[in-house]
Amino acid sequence: MDSINISQAVIKRLPRYYRYLGELKDEGIERISSRELSELMHVTASQIRADLNHFGGFGQQGYGYKVRNLYDEIAKILGLDKSHKLVVIGAGHLGQALSNYVNFERRGFHILGIFDRDPKLVGKKIRDVYVAPMEELEDFIRCNDIDIAVLTIPKTSAVEVAKTLVDCNIRAIWNFAHVDLAVPDDVIVENVHLSESLMTLSYNLSRM
Amino acid sequence: MDSINISQAVIKRLPRYYRYLGELKDEGIERISSRELSELMHVTASQIRADLNHFGGFGQQGYGYKVRNLYDEIAKILGLDKSHKLVVIGAGHLGQALSNYVNFERRGFHILGIFDRDPKLVGKKIRDVYVAPMEELEDFIRCNDIDIAVLTIPKTSAVEVAKTLVDCNIRAIWNFAHVDLAVPDDVIVENVHLSESLMTLSYNLSRM
């Protein structure tokens, strides 16, 4: 199977398949037909067959999909079979919420450091990690081979911190600051712009 | 101008235009050409012209866009000219982060109530609102004409709470729980599935 050929549209749908398959797996279900999965996920069975045909060999006529195998295969495509080292920058409520979220750890995203410029937050323990001052960020990233930085700081500081992160050869930024970060092409930025999500909700509400 | 005819693809891009225009407005800039906006936003000028042509009359050859008018017009399309009443359900870190976010208030999203089932959180003051026990949720929504419920609770409770919200005639749910909520067609659900965003990042990282 050549994962490179899977379209972006399918990729976008994979996390949802992964979630449903994970729940089926946890319930001890070994096989599921595309019809059953279709009813569960409220997606057409033909869409499911088309999407999951990319993962050849797991779906068979009259047999259905092997839940565990399909789950593992999607995990591999999503890169969840590898582990990642993260730092969280910004130990405010959002940073703390993300740092406390055990499911990230379960999926191989290990938060090794949490940083903040506020002296009142420095030294605070969040799960097993003590919040460190921003001055220590650069050395920490270099010494600990950090892959991913999570940015939960205001947009004014985010632009400047992103520059530092690029200098430290960070590979990816999960950006919650409401700003577009300018980074080289080989640095991945995944934005979570909460205000834009709320505006979409507001738009849909105004159309009802 | 008939906003009904604007495509979903354009709608999805509007919050980003809105953000850039807001920044220009705050800097006191009155006009901007599509070329200048294009350089700022890293989008082609023709894309900008095509998108903003839906808001006829603001862009003129050799004159550019009137920043303030365009900003106001997009706000209207996004329903940001109306004010909304919200409750936050779940006063954990994420609920607190959202409740503390002043920009939502500025855009007309007023958080009137915060609820949690944890007695340790009940009574806590977040900005001007005291966290109330879950038992008071239904009456509060009905008496205060709440439009939007923000769900920042685990997925097991989210399903049950969503049913209650529907019974109380809530109009929209901003859902942070990692589950698909089953609601009638006239209730809007806007999902923020953080794990799925992190998986997209992970996918892109594994392709580098």
pLDDT at A54: 77
Q: HEC profile for chain B?
A: CCHHHCCHHHHHHHHHHHHHHHHHHHCCCCEECHHHHHHHHCCCHHHHHHHHHHHCCCEECCCEEEHHHHHHHHHHHCCCCCCEEEEEECCCHHHHHHHCCHHHHHCCEEEEEEEECCCCCCCCEECCEEEEEHHHHHHHHHHHCCCEEEECCCHHHHHHHHHHHHHCCCCEEEECCCCCCCCCCCCEEEECCHHHHHHHHHHHHHCC
Same domain, A120 and A136: yes
In a domain, residue A202? The reply is no
pLDDT digits (tens, 9 = 90+) for A43-54: 998 888 888 887
Residue B112's domain comprises 84-197
Query: Chain A residue closest to B179 (CA)?
Result: A19
pLDDT at B2: 45
Q: What is the ipTM of this complex?
A: 0.90
CB distance B206–A82 less than 8 Å? yes
Same domain, B33 and B118: no
Same domain, B25 and B123: no
Q: Does A16 touch chain B (CB under 8 A)?
A: yes
pLDDT at B94: 93
- How many Å lie between the alpha carbon of A48 and the closest alpha carbon of chain B? 17
pLDDT digits (tens, 9 = 90+) for B148-185: 999 999 888 999 999 999 999 999 999 999 999 999 99
CATH at residue B46: 1.10.10.10
Same domain, B149 and B184: yes
CATH at residue A121: 3.40.50.720
Q: Which residues of A touch B2 (CB under 8 A)?
A: none
pLDDT bucket at A185, cuts 50 / 70 / 90: very high
CB distance B203–A18 less than 8 Å? no
Over residues B20-29, the mean pLDDT reads 94
Is 50 exceeded by the pLDDT of residue B1?
Answer: no
Same domain, B93 and B73: no
Same domain, A91 and A184: yes
Same domain, B137 and B181: yes
- Provide the chain A residues 138-177 that lie in CB contact (below 8 A) with chain B: 147-148, 171-172, 174
- How many Å lie between the alpha carbon of A129 and the closest alpha carbon of chain B? 16
Same domain, A55 and A112: no
In a domain, residue B116? The reply is yes
